[in-house]
Amino acid sequence: MKTDVCFILEGTYPYVYGGVSNWIHNLVTSLGDLKFSIIHVSATGDTIRTPKYEIPDNIVEFKEIFVHDYKIEKGRTRGSKREGWRAIREFYDALGSNDLSKFTDVYKQVIDKNTRSLNAYDLMNSDQAWKMMTRLYQDYAPDVSFVDFYWTIKFIHSPLLNLVDVEIPEANVFHTVCTGYAGLLSVIAKMKRQKPLLLTEHGIYTHERKIEISKAKWIHSEEDKIMRATRTLGFFKEAWIKKFETLSKLTYDYADKIVTLFEGNRKMQIEGGADPSKISIIPNGVDVLEEQLTLHREKETTKNIGFIGRVVSIKDVKIFIRAMKILKERMKDIKVFILGSGDEEPEYFNECKTLTQMLQLEDNITFTGNVNVEDYYPMLDAVVLTSISEGQPLTILEAMSYGIPIVASDVGACRELIYGKDEDDRNLGEAGILTNIGSPHETAGAIMSILQNKDLYQKMSETGVTRIKKYYRKENTINSYRELYESLLR
């Protein structure tokens, strides 16, 4: 069945609850007259997962791809393999100057079934593949172990080959929300179906992968063998980062339109090679409540503090927990709710629970798992984010719409949400307090400043509501995407 829009997603909706997934669900349900399909890129098919959302009726097709379930097949080829290897060699030689124009030849020689001269087996297991590997080693990494180089390069490339033969649904527009594996698949979809490609980046994919890779223990490092301090990530981590930078640049090059949430992200996209003329800013939006809540509960002695988000390392939940320990020593009556799933990084989730026990906060902190956060907003006195990376957090917008002051680390769009994005916006006032990344003492102090000053609390509460009404209405976001889809559909 041909659809109006095919979403190409990676590790998100409908299996992960949170900001991007909520945004997708709201967009699809709000555009009920359009038909959607979804290709979801996952790691492996080893685990059984259940959707966290009820799939709307206007999503009429759903397909899942597993990039780490490797299938090295001898698919049919035609033409000269020499031409195929020439295209591969020229593509890699041009990567140093960030020139991806040779990808058209790679598509023709590797991906297009009507013209390709190389299959997955040729690329991974042939004599020519070995020769290519040794040439790359001699040119770029002669000082590292060849065995480590060989397996690193093989692991970097193997997932990409699982995207080559994906059956692409018929759609009038392809829409991806990241530039990684989903980004590559969206470029392939555009080229196969000759239809426009739209990219929306909430957080900058490459930036987030850099953070993860810099901390990764599963990537071999030559420095692991030498007990010394180093300022560099090492060849192997740099190779992984280069892969994701290349996928981002490729998606930017082939996208017809690029959307992001705020000016800071737009600048990072341009630094990553995106054409400024393609980029537009469409901020997130939330429903404006008919009756705003008065949340400064003067008669209540216990103060309720909420952390809303997945329990994952990039949210730095451990810093939040440490801040709650400091806050408890200064304000005895606090109740803390960590509202989000721990399924994505179970080891980190268990570490957070252990830290809670070690700090003797079991009576104060509740891990709720997946819940309807709207049930909790009316009882919260403050909402806190301690993330080390964010886009434009929906949780901040939602909390502000309820009149709840915010304490957040200074990442992503948090500064402009809390303090204002321009002079007119800043004149409205502050809707909370920003802190530095990884600062539990600052976080605790900011919460105390807000909760112990009735006038400040009330002012921040009113500012948040006013800012939402003026700049971040959900209806404006939906209308902007409707207009964008219609322009691409035409």
**CATH number of the domain where residue 28 is located:** 3.40.50.2000
**317: alpha, beta or left, given left = phi > 0 and alpha = psi -120 to 50?**
alpha
Q: Is residue 75 part of a domain?
A: no
Per-residue pLDDT, 299? 54
Which two three-digit tokens encode residue 18? Answer: 């949170």
Most confident range, picked from 153-157, 218-222, 249-253: 249-253
Distance between CA atoms of residues 185 and 479, nearest Å? 27
Same structural domain for residues 396 and 465?
yes
Say which residues have a Cβ less than 8 Å from residue 478's Cβ, sequence separation at least 6.
26, 27, 30, 31, 285
pLDDT band at 228 (very low <50, low <70, confident <90, very high): very low
Same structural domain for residues 61 and 112?
no
pLDDT, averaged across the chain? 91
Answer whether residue 224 shows pLDDT above 50. no
Per-residue pLDDT, 221? 59
Per-residue pLDDT, 290? 61
Answer whether residue 294 shows pLDDT above 90. no
Answer whether residue 266 shows pLDDT above 70. yes
pTM of the model: 0.89
Q: Is residue 326 part of a domain?
A: yes
Q: Is residue 150 part of a domain?
A: yes
Same structural domain for residues 400 and 272?
no
Q: Is residue 97 part of a domain?
A: yes
Answer whether residue 19 shows pLDDT above 90. no
Same structural domain for residues 401 and 425?
yes
Q: Is residue 477 part of a domain?
A: no
Q: Which is higher by pLDDT, 461 or 49?
A: 461
Q: What is the percentage of the chain residues whose pLDDT exceeds 90?
A: 74
Same structural domain for residues 404 and 310?
yes
Same structural domain for residues 398 and 421?
yes
Contact in structure between 437 and 318 (CB atoms under 8 Å): no
Please, which residues bridge with residue 260 across strands?
A: 201, 281
How many separate domains does the chain show? 3
Answer whether residue 225 shows pLDDT above 50. no
Closest by Cα among 248, 172, 165, 247 to 204: 248
Mean pLDDT of 369-396: 93
Distance between CA atoms of residues 245 and 255, nearest Å? 15
Produce one character per residue of 393-420: b if its CB has 16 or more CB atoms within 10 Å, e if not: bbbbbbbbbbbbbbbbbebbbbebbbbb
Burial of residue 381, with CB atoms counted within 10 A of its CB: 0-12 exposed, 13-18 middle, 19 or more buried: buried
Same structural domain for residues 265 and 246?
yes
Q: Is residue 315 part of a domain?
A: yes
Q: Over the stretch 311-339, which tens digit does the pLDDT of each residue have?
A: 999 999 999 999 999 999 999 899 999 99
Same structural domain for residues 130 and 200?
no
Which of 126, 142, 157 is a domain's end point? 157
- For residue 355, the 8-state DSSP code is H
Contact in structure between 397 and 374 (CB atoms under 8 Å): no
Same structural domain for residues 434 and 325?
yes
Produce one character per residue of 298-325: b if its CB has 16 or more CB atoms within 10 Å, e if not: eeeeebbbbbbbbbbbbbbbbbbbbbbb
Same structural domain for residues 167 and 151?
no
Same structural domain for residues 235 and 139?
no
Answer whether residue 232 shows pLDDT above 70. no
Q: Which is higher by pLDDT, 239 or 405?
A: 405
Q: Over the stretch 50-81, which tens digit does the pLDDT of each residue have?
A: 898 999 999 999 999 999 887 777 778 988 89
Q: Does the CA dihedral 313-317-320-326 come out positive or negative?
A: negative
Q: Is residue 36 part of a domain?
A: yes
Q: What is the domain range of residue 118? A: 81-157
Q: Is residue 42 part of a domain?
A: yes
Same structural domain for residues 138 and 222?
no
Which two three-digit tokens encode residue 482? Answer: 């409707």
